[in-house]
Structure 1
Amino acid sequence: MNDQNHDVIVIGTGPGGEGASMKAAKEGKSVAVIEKHHLVGGGCTHWGTIPSKALRHSINRMLEFNTSPAFRNALGSSLKLSYPDLLRSAESVIARQTAMRRDFYERNRIQLRHGQARFLDAHTLEVRAGGTIEPVVLSADAFIIASGSHPFRPRDIDFNHPRIFDSDTILSMSTTPRSILIYGAGVIGCEYASIFRNMGCKVDLVDTRSQLLSFLDDEIAHALSYHLRDQGVMIRHNEEYEVVEGLADGVLTHFKSGKKIKADVLLWANGRTGNTQNMGLEELGITPNNRGQIKVDDNYRTALPHIYAVGDVIGYPSLASAAYDQGRFAATHLIHGSCDHHLVDYIPTGIYTSPEISSVGRTERELTDARVPYEVGHAYFKSLARAQITGRTVGMLKLLFHRDTLEILGIHCFGDQAAEIVHIGQAIMAQQGTANNIQYFVNTTFNYPTMAEAYRVAALNGLNRLA
């Protein structure tokens, strides 16, 4: 056991921890980072964003191959890859991401330690690597907790059963199921519903609410429901489980409505919990809520002002993109006592279903409730030359703008490359005054043929409604 003092100790190497540690190191501070996993990158790299999106990409490429007559005729049959085969496509991406991020810490002379962190007092913690390795004691002037989250697991469900998975363990499934029941129709549940349906699995998507992803613009949410059903996903709204019964040949789920659904496997995708267990926080006066999340102020300070928290462990917005910025902002405040930067008012959402969804700004429902006079402009992908060339004609771009000032109020996109397309509009929305005006899209020349051209089409469509 040894004692080492640092200016800042960061707990976690996901996006939030990386943003915080890099900012502090660039400011000349002595920084140590603690990661309980044996590799850096956090849940984003190893169990969440990167592997699931790499898996989705591989499945989409397989679909593209199988739906192309030229490719299929050349092979003589459809291309069939197992779930484990497709998962392996993510391994090289994860390996490259891990190596790159490990190099960041080495180049910035940040001390990296692996093990479970636990506070001994307000300025000291120990790192236990497990086994017979003696714990290391570290001290610091300040701390940033970026420990992330893990899937919420109800106590009455046996997650040790070989056919019951959560969104972490599903990435280690060694078989290709014929059928899957996904409990929870949030972002993760909808994304995996697309993934497994596009593999040819029978999918039941159970939603405890009356509408998929109700935070989205209603037209986009309804489009998602339509296309998931069109692909063959069975969506079951307003359902709650009563008993989950693991069997030798599948999982039988009993619902409070009286329904029973049997599937080869169950994927539980209903909520996440902050990684705050066994960290000694309660003894410091920092008490996580019932979902393991830490309360912070506008500058990411906890109940103890020298201990900050960022990312999934503080709850909303629980996005990798936002967590990185939160880490940088927390480190800036920690070092300088203030931070002029904050998260953007409207954080873009990216939902990687097939087709994908992205939006930024306000929805029609929000504008109507606020009695804001707005108009709508649409561009349907089926009318765009680029979409016709690629064959990705499902989708649309939707612009909401003020009828009088022409200020852009919301951008909603459904279809191929939606998460990329939305950033063009986000950049214009961020401008002040008349620069944030739908006329920009009418008077700007776009490359042709591109998906970006949808902005010009949607802007003209909306302006034509003002007459």
Structure 2
Amino acid sequence: MAYEFDRTQRIAVLGGGPGGYEAALAAARLGAEVTLVERVGVGGAAVLTDVVPSKSLIATAEASNAVKEAADLGVQFYAKGANDKPVKPKVAINLAAVNKRLLGLAAQQSEDMRTNLLDAGVHLVHGEGRLDGPNAIIVATAKGGTDFDRIEADTLVISVGATPRILPSAVPDGERILTWTQLYDLQEVPEHLIVVGSGVTGAEFASAYRALGAKVTLISSRDQVLPGEDQDAGAVIESVFTRNGMKVLNRSRADSVVRDGDGVLVTLSDGRAVRGSHCLMAVGSVPNTRELGLEEAGVQLTDSGHIRVNRVARTSMPNIYAAGDCTTFLPLASVASMQGRTAVFHAMGDIVNPPEDRNITSNIFTQPEIATVGRTQRDIEDGVVPGIVYKLPLVSNPRAKMMGIRDGFVKLITTRSSQTVIGGVIVAPKASELIFPLALAIEHRLTVDQFAEAFPVYPSLSGSLTDAARAMHVVR
């Protein structure tokens, strides 16, 4: 007689972001009794104040750039002025309307996710939750009130996300000194936006607001923007930034940010002062794990407050799992979703395919975008793995010429012995869409010769991928 796994487990999920949502949905579909606790709305900060609204804002910025750069392709916009003389119109951004739209999109996405959970049979509880030992969650159902629900479960999944890091010397006020969650209250494009922090978040918003017409100063404490990314990619983005009129201050550290009348004053560690109308603090995030009863329940945390998890998203307690930005794994929404599903599959005895660094794709939504997957050039240079790196500039691609693309490249990384694809970088418009073939090549361990056998459309930007693969046939 075949063994049947128990599908009637009670599973409680704390946090309804990408990780918690996918965990709850997967568990319900496998027949578990599922309760999800969320304090702000299904989708969490990722949907309501982070990924969805920020990428919607970036889409608007891309549309603005497309209009401005259309003249390079021979498309000119004119209006009739006095005496029917042509007048070149300016691109105007109604930021209040933009923010209303993107927050509406975020709310709709949250509602769609909520509907999916209810249709799957998930019980939703709105309120502030914390662990009460390893097998229960206590929920305050009214803020500041005394009404509590106690949810007992066989398995707990913690997916409480993270919030912007706040520096004592640069406390946001929601008006002039802002975190990225507060940008959507702005009614007009900032006259001069100072961005402190040149990581992914800082670079994305600096790129977007410059395209929307703001004067932008980007303060970076490192030698180059995007210091944790591919060095060639960072160099391209910094070159585009400066060419588009952005002021980039490398090797500069902000000591303090204060209100200065109707603007802000940023004082650097070397004594220089930068004045602007607004300042965005993009100096990282901290996990929302404080006062959740995690350590009391036996869950191990790092010094930074992140939850220690293994490859199947399991914590130090066998029945407690964790997913997303609150864990020690990669802080990506797609990874959080995979962790949530993996946690439930493992807890319920289903097939588990844990995420691995070697096949995780990520994208930075600057203009142009930067998409990466797998091993990096730094891994090769540092001797982590023996390999070969080949870079092909996009300027040689016929479709890029037609589209007026001047910046970007395709980079392939392979093993030295068999030339199996193990990594890649794409810097291009919509690189997030172009990276998928490389992710498949890595997942299925294709060699460059096997990858080059695929037929891309001619002309297409994806043709640069097979062009690079064919070029590597003779590179040793």
**TM-score, scaled relative to structure 2:** 0.90
Deviation, 1:371, is 7.6
Secondary structure of the equivalent of 2:371? Answer: strand
Alignment of 1:85 onto 2:87: no
* Secondary structure of residue in 2 paired with 1:284: coil
Unpaired segments ≥5 residues, structure 2: 1-7, 81-87
Tell me, yes or no, if the aligned pair for 2:373 and 2:423 is still in contact at 8 Å: yes
Distance 1:405 1:192, change over 3 A: same
Matched residue, 1:455: 465
Is the 1:378–1:461 Cα contact (8 Å) retained in structure 2?
A: no
Tell me the distance in 2 between the aligned counterparts of 1:109 and 1:335: 17
Shift of 1:345: 3.1
Q: Aligned equivalents of 1:344 and 1:238: distance in 2?
A: 33
Map 1:17-416; keep pairs closer than 5 Å: 17-37=20-40, 39-69=41-71, 70=75, 72-73=77-78, 76-131=88-143, 134-160=147-173, 162-286=175-299, 288-336=301-349, 340-346=352-358, 347-370=360-383, 374-416=387-429
1:314 aligned counterpart, secondary structure: coil
Q: In 2, Cα distance between the equivalents of 1:216 and 1:164?
A: 27
2: CA distance, partners of 1:216 / 1:208: 15
Relative to structure 1, is the Cα distance of residues 52 and 370 closer, same or farther in structure 2, using a 3 angstrom cutoff?
same
Deviations 1:274-301 (A, max 9, x none): 1113322233233544433112233322
Q: Is the 8 A contact 1:398 1:411 kept in 2?
A: yes
User: Within 1, Cα distance between the matches of 2:63 and 2:197?
Assistant: 26
* Distance in structure 1 (CA, Å) of the matches to 2:450 and 2:406: 25
Matched, 1:445 2:455: yes
Letter in 2 for 1:83: L
Q: Deviations over 1:139-198 (max 9, x none)?
A: 112210001111011233332262010111122223321111111111001101101111
Partner AA of 2:132 in structure 1 = L
Contact 1:378–1:457, Cα closer than 8 Å, also in 2: no
- Once the 2 structures are TM-superposed, how far is the Cα of residue 456 of structure 1 from its aligned partner? 2.1
Return the alpha-carbon distance in structure 1 between the equivalents of residues 62 and 55 of structure 2: 10
User: Do the aligned residues in 2 keep the contact of 1:377 with 1:460 (CA within 8 Å)?
Assistant: no
**Match of 2:212, as an amino acid?**
M
Return the offset for 1:387. Answer: 2.4
- Name the residue aligned to 2:10: 7
Per-residue CA distance 1:188-222 (angstroms, 9 max, x = gap)? 01101101111221211112222332332222222
SS in 1 for 2:435: helix
Residue correspondences, number? 457
Larger deviation, residues 27-36 vs 302-311: 302-311
Structure 1, unmatched stretches of 5+, are none
SS in 2 for 1:9: strand
In structure 2, the CA distance between the partners of 1:6 and 1:139, relative to structure 1 (3 Å rule), is farther
* Cα distance in 2, alignment partners of residues 18 and 181 from structure 1: 35
Deviation string for 1:304-347 (max 9, x for gaps)? 221211110103300000010101111112122x7631103321
Partner amino acid for 2:125? R
Structure 1 length as normaliser, TM-score? 0.91
Task: Give, in whole Å, the separation in 1 of the partners of 2:419 and 2:174.
Answer: 56
**Is the contact between residue 349 and residue 358 of structure 1 (CA under 8 Å) also seen in structure 2?**
yes
Q: 1:262 to 1:316 in 2, by over 3 A?
A: farther
Identity %: 26
CA distance in 2, matches of 1:121, 1:369: 44
Distance 1:205 1:25, change over 3 A: same
CA distance in 2, matches of 1:48, 1:371: 34
CA contact (8 A) 1:356 1:417 kept: yes
Per the alignment, in what secondary structure is the counterpart of residue 213 of structure 2?
coil
Q: Match of 1:415, as an amino acid?
A: A
Q: Distance in 2 between matches of 1:67 and 1:406?
A: 40
1:66 deviation in Å?
2.9
Q: Residue 53 of structure 2 aligns to which amino acid in structure 1?
A: P
Match for 1:137: what amino acid? R
Alignment CA distance shift 1:404-1:298 (3 Å): closer
